[in-house]
Structure 1
Amino acid sequence: MRAVVQRVTRASVTIDGEVTGSIGQGYLVLLGVGADDTRAEADRLWKKLFGLRIMEDEDGKTNRSIDDVGGEVLVVSQFTLFADCRRGRRPSFTAAGDPAHANELYEYFVQLARQDVSRVATGTFGANMQVELVNDGPFTIVLDTDTL
């Protein structure tokens, strides 16, 4: 699994002109599921993400977790995180999980987040979404379960 984690002051996702999910301070998580990923990868990824100390403390140091600050999470599925651009000009997405598998793990990841965070919003799996955010810092981290 791959995640692009952006620390935000606010973020939202819009589908067909309607805001379907929004958060205040917290993380926007763009989540990609690979063909070989399992619930074990989702567990590892969520545990790592939840424990990250990338929120600012009272001294402006990145020393607090999302739990410490009562932050919120917006999770948006993004299969394009598995784009392979090594050949040609058109990316290949064969390493991405098939839609049924990817959706199952996406929903499982959201379920894990909801166990630990009071406000978790989502996009809609497979939908054409417009994501808006105010990146706080800017602070962006890429996590990949192959390297955790």
Structure 2
Amino acid sequence: MIGLVQRVSEARVVVDGRTLGEIGAGLLLLVCAERGDAEGQADRLLAKVLKLRIFADEQGKMNRSVQDIGGGLLVVSQFTLAADTSGGNRPGFGNAAPPEEGRRLYDYFVARARAEHPVVQTGEFGADMKVHLVNDGPVTIPLRIQ
């Protein structure tokens, strides 16, 4: 599974003019299931995201997690994280899980996140989403879980 973590001071997802998910300070997580991924990868990605120490402590060092600060988690599906551009200028997405498997793993990830963390918002799988964010730092960290 691939995750792209962005530390945000605020973020929201809009579909057809409606805000579906919105958080204040926390993490925007773009997530992509790849072919062959299973629940184990989703579990490991979630554990890494929730414990990732990228928020400032009292000395200003990145030493606190989203759980430590009580921040929000906005989870957005994004199959384009699996893009392969090695064959030219048009990306291929053959490494992304098929849509039905991607949806199943995304739904599993969100359910597990809601069981582990108090503030979890989402986008809409497969929708044309507009993601608004204020990247805090900026801090953006790619994660790939095998």
Kindly, what percent of the aligned residue pairs are identical? 51
* 1:67 to 2:58 alignment: no
Aligned length: 146
CA contact (8 A) 1:2 1:81 kept: yes
Runs of 4+ aligned structure 1 residues displaced above 3 Å come to none
CA distance in 2, matches of 1:7, 1:21: 16
The residue type paired with residue 85 of structure 1 is T
Displacement of 1:18: 1.0
3-state DSSP of counterpart to 1:108: helix
Gaps of 5+ in 1: none
CA distance in 2, matches of 1:131, 1:3: 16
Displacement of 1:88: 2.1
Alignment of 1:1-148 (within 5 A): 1-146=1-146
Displacement of 1:55: 1.0
Q: TM-score, normalised by structure 1?
A: 0.96
CA distance in 2, matches of 1:88, 1:69: 43
CA distance in 1, matches of 2:56, 2:112: 24
3-state DSSP of counterpart to 1:43: helix
RMSD between superposed Cα atoms in Å:
0.8
Gaps of 5+ in 2: none
CA distance in 2, matches of 1:88, 1:96: 18
CA distance in 1, matches of 2:88, 2:67: 43
Q: TM-score, normalised by structure 2?
A: 0.97
With 57-66 and 91-100 compared, the bigger mean Cα shift is at 57-66
